[in-house]
A = this chain, B = another copy of it.
Amino acid sequence: MNTLKLRHVAIDTHKENVAYLHRDCTVYRTEGFQALSKIEIHKAEDHTPIIAVLNVVDDDSITAPGQLGLCEQAFRQLGLEEGAALTVTHAKPPLSLKAVHRKIAGERLDFDDYLAISRDIVANRYSKIEMAAFLVACAETGMEREEVLYLTRSMIETGEKLEWGEPLVADKHCIGGIPGNRTTMLVVPIVAAHGMLIPKTSSRAITSPAGTADTMEVLAKVKLDMERLHDIVRKQRACLVWGGTAKLAPLDDILIAVERPLSLDSAGQMTASILSKKIAAGSTHLLIDIPVGPTAKVRSSLTAMRLRKLFEYVGDRLGLHLDVILTDGRQPIGRGIGPVLETRDVMQVLNNQPEAPADLREKSLQLAGRILEFDPDVRGGQGYVIARNILDSGRALEKMQAIIEAQGRNDQPPQLGHLRHKVLAPESGLVEEIDNLQMAHIARLAGAPLDKGAGVDLHKKTGDPVEAGEPLYTIYAEFPSDFQFTQEAARQASGYRIGVHK
């Protein structure tokens, strides 16, 4: 068999193994590979081969005949030096792909199927298009609740698991879709100030203008190693970090890399994604926030109830204490949308400033109250009052500052975007509706979450009276092209509906 010399090709293909062979390479010609073929790369007989998708190269300086080029991720996975001798063969399709085909055909899969699929994906045996096929087949009404349980278990089993050594490890999660809804950064310090353990790992924004990790990063480092994380949690009873550094439910991260460009977000995948991450993170008690509203992710109480039942079904079977709360998702929460602006709102609430957004404060107290009631020593219905006392007394602020210091304060916090544009009310009346989707869209066009200072600051909320020509909100951006796009989008649809009263 022809051997090839390993070549590192410094291309980052994002969660997909790509291999490069020169068109004139004997191995390429004789083995009958084609571009997009999947190949198996063998380093020694006794070693499990890695799998990669083939790209064909016509430039010796990238990969010459006789060489096998591997992208960053495949090169790392193989773990050899450049020049190492390799052989390649046609890859047999991963066995679990047969289960994906059964799923596409509308069949129900069992736990062994989901586990096999999960293992193959985590071992990089799936191409992006195979992952897309799996996700779409499972999307929407495609999964029964037992299957969601199987997928969740598979996600947990194919990753690592954190242990905190305590019987009550609290956590919260919002299914998202409501701009400005930064309650986590209030709930965590309140709950931790009470003494409850709440080691919070959050994600970055996927389709929204800001995730908790993006927002917390305005104030402090969020990318911490495990040792440091444990140390902080031991001392502070809490943390507010990005969860991506832990190898918790890695399948979820891989799938998200495909879900994101596809904007897929089905109930089954959402449930599996959320619960697997939480259980892998060592959580024992979890509050899930499902905002309901005409422009929220969940639009009707009926859908919300169904989703709640699905969370409860899977959570119960995995031994998780689960409380699901349906909240008002009819408009954005707070005023700011985008990391810097949302941080400002959070700090106003923690500081008990009079201009602090009341809805953000109120919702955070409700959520914190429900979590505090996980504590067997807290009487049912008393959580809210305890939470309010902690916030009003300044103990929540104190805890937040301690967490920020422990994680490493950001000494050069990002500033608000310097390009600013006020969107004005076209007529006088009452604000009747603010479209969550359009406000999120506008904030993302402005550059959030990657430009932390970009976003939207709402000056009016639902029910507020407004005069024609008065500003409804201000757009902040950093880059002229984003800024232009955003103004144009806001001109086409401001996201506000003003009711004119005669």
Contact = CB atoms under 8 A, between A and B. Distances in A.
A378 interface: no
B129 A32 contact: no
A11 B447 contact: no
Contacts of A11: 20, 55-59, 62
Contacts of A104: 136, 139-140, 264
Interface in A158-178: none
Nearest to A104: B139
A385 interface: no
A63 to B, nearest CB: 9
Interface in A31-74: 31-32, 34-38, 55-59, 61-62, 71-72
A243 B70 CA distance: 34
Interface string A133-146: 10111011100000
B93 A72 contact: no
Contacts of A15: 36
A203 interface: no
Nearest to A136: B136
Interface stretch (A220-228, A254-262, A359-367, A431-439): A254-262
A128 interface: yes
Given A11-B62, A129-B262, A262-B133, A451 B35 contact: no
A79 interface: no
Contacts of A13: 35, 55
A106 interface: yes
A130 interface: yes
B9 A261 contact: no
Contacts of A261: 36-38, 127, 129-130
A126 to B, nearest CB: 10
A10 interface: yes
Given A104-B136, A480-B1, A35 B55 contact: no
A61 B61 contact: yes
B58 A10 contact: yes
A141 B104 CA distance: 9
A59 B8 CA distance: 10
Given A140-B104, A140-B105, A140-B106, A14 B32 contact: no
A412 interface: no
A258 B132 CA distance: 11
A12 interface: yes
14 contacts: A10-B62, A11-B56, A12-B56, A12-B57, A14-B36, A14-B56, A58-B72, A89-B481, A129-B258, A132-B132, A133-B135, A133-B136, A133-B262, A136-B137
A-B residue pairs, 7 tightest by C-beta: A32-B450, A14-B35, A10-B59, A10-B58, A132-B132, A12-B56, A129-B132
Given A11-B59, A133-B262, 17 more contacts: A1-B480, A9-B62, A11-B57, A11-B62, A12-B23, A32-B450, A61-B62, A104-B140, A106-B140, A106-B141, A128-B128, A128-B132, A129-B261, A130-B132, A130-B261, A132-B132, A132-B136
